[in-house]
Amino acid sequence: MLYNLFRDVVVLSLTFIVNFLIVSTFWGLVEMFQPIHWQWLAQLMNYIRVPYTPTNVIIVLSALTLLVPCLLHRTWFMQRYLCWATNCQKPQGEAAERLNQAMSIVCRKAGLDISDYNLYVCNTKVLNAFAIGNNNIAVTLPLLSNMPIREIAGILAHEMGHIQNRDTNTALLTSTMSSFGNFVIRIYSYITLVLQIISFIPVIGWFTAIISWFFLIQIWLFQFLMQLPLHIVTMFSSREDEYEADLYACKIGLGAELFNGLSYISQGEAQMGFAARLLSSHPATRQRLERIRNYVNSHDTVV
């Protein structure tokens, strides 16, 4: 428990620092070309007794950009925004039907109301599922279309375990902050693109080419920095959280289904490249499978 708290504090602070750096370069750029004179900002800074200097304006604006959405992170709007930012959509047609069938098995077993949860489908090639915020579960399209309904239910039960154990709160905050860092990186990529197009014009072109390099270096640096908190999460990623989410699935009676679903995913992972396996969000599948099997077996003999 204390270990998890320590890990969360480290990850959240690092994510804040990295994204603060990135966002502050953006506001710095704005301030350079068009000095910011906003009435509400002047009033706010006067209220917190910070002198209205260009540097302070950049610092306060950057902090607000990251922290205000974090205060709103529990709202319906921010969670929808994050699902959108992670490329998830509301399921349609047959996908929706399969997902609802699987989810109703989970909710019936766990005694939960299915209408309290939002389900999403991500159109990526990997077999994966993840929980976002306090009532959203997303599964990838290959997982949904290739796996039997009962096994999908097993995987959903694990994700429901994360939601019920409140493991998703930190992830929600880090992804809220990172989405703004990513937004700035995207703006810089567009600026670089425009500068590179202009760089074909003689004389002015040399100038824009130099500036576009300046932006490119920044983009590389920022993309590297953005990976840092994520690496720390995986490094310290508590296997306990995974075991606990598995245990939840077992307790509501979907252990065997989770076992089969997880075996299916791990077979898919075995065919993945090394890099894809590194990025896969659920490590140490073999140990998890062993624990689930032990649980299911020991409870079968009792019954």
Instruction: Indicate the pairing of strand 118-122 with strand 88-89.
Output: antiparallel
Q: How many residues bind Zn ion (CB under 5 A)?
A: 2
Rounded CA-CA distance 27/37 in Å is 13
Rounded CA-CA distance 179/172 in Å is 11
Q: Judged by CB under 5 A, which stretch of 66-74, 238-246, 254-262, 284-292 contacts Zn ion?
A: 238-246
The CB-of-241 to Zn ion minimum distance in angstroms stands at: 7
The CB-of-109 to Zn ion minimum distance in angstroms stands at: 18
The CB-of-31 to Zn ion minimum distance in angstroms stands at: 42
Give the nearer residue to Zn ion in terms of CB position, either 189 or 237: 237
Residue 166 token pair = 């409140």
Rounded CA-CA distance 299/303 in Å is 6
Give the nearer residue to Zn ion in terms of CB position, either 83 or 184: 83
Q: Judged by CB under 5 A, which stretch of 69-77, 115-123, 190-198, 235-243 contacts Zn ion?
A: 235-243
The CB-of-90 to Zn ion minimum distance in angstroms stands at: 23
The CB-of-143 to Zn ion minimum distance in angstroms stands at: 14
Q: Judged by CB under 5 A, which stretch of 20-28, 88-96, 104-112, 241-249 contacts Zn ion?
A: 241-249
In three-state secondary structure terms, 235 is helix
The CB-of-255 to Zn ion minimum distance in angstroms stands at: 15
Q: Judged by CB under 5 A, which stretch of 5-13, 94-102, 229-237, 239-247 contacts Zn ion?
A: 239-247
The CB-of-63 to Zn ion minimum distance in angstroms stands at: 32
Give the nearer residue to Zn ion in terms of CB position, either 65 or 280: 280
Q: Is 206 left (phi over 0), alpha (psi -120 to 50) or beta?
A: alpha
Give the nearer residue to Zn ion in terms of CB position, either 11 or 18: 11
The CB-of-32 to Zn ion minimum distance in angstroms stands at: 44
What are the helix (H) ranges across the chain?
Answer: 2-33, 39-47, 54-71, 76-85, 93-110, 141-146, 149-164, 168-198, 204-236, 239-251, 255-270, 274-279, 285-302
Rounded CA-CA distance 170/39 in Å is 34
What is the H or E stretch that residue 202 is in? none
| 164-183 footprint of Zn ion as x/- string (CB under 5 A) | --------------------
Give the nearer residue to Zn ion in terms of CB position, either 18 or 245: 245
Cα 179 to Cα 66, 121, 183, 230: the distances in Å are: 9, 20, 6, 13
Give the nearer residue to Zn ion in terms of CB position, either 204 or 284: 284
What is the amino acid identity at position 50? V
Bridge partners of 120? 138
Rounded CA-CA distance 39/36 in Å is 10
In three-state secondary structure terms, 223 is helix
Q: Judged by CB under 5 A, which stretch of 82-90, 196-204, 245-253, 262-270 contacts Zn ion?
A: 245-253
Give the nearer residue to Zn ion in terms of CB position, either 127 or 245: 245
Give the nearer residue to Zn ion in terms of CB position, either 156 or 195: 156
Q: Judged by CB under 5 A, which stretch of 90-98, 215-223, 236-244, 295-303 contacts Zn ion?
A: 236-244
Please report, as ranges, the residues that interact with Zn ion according to CB under 5 A. 242, 245
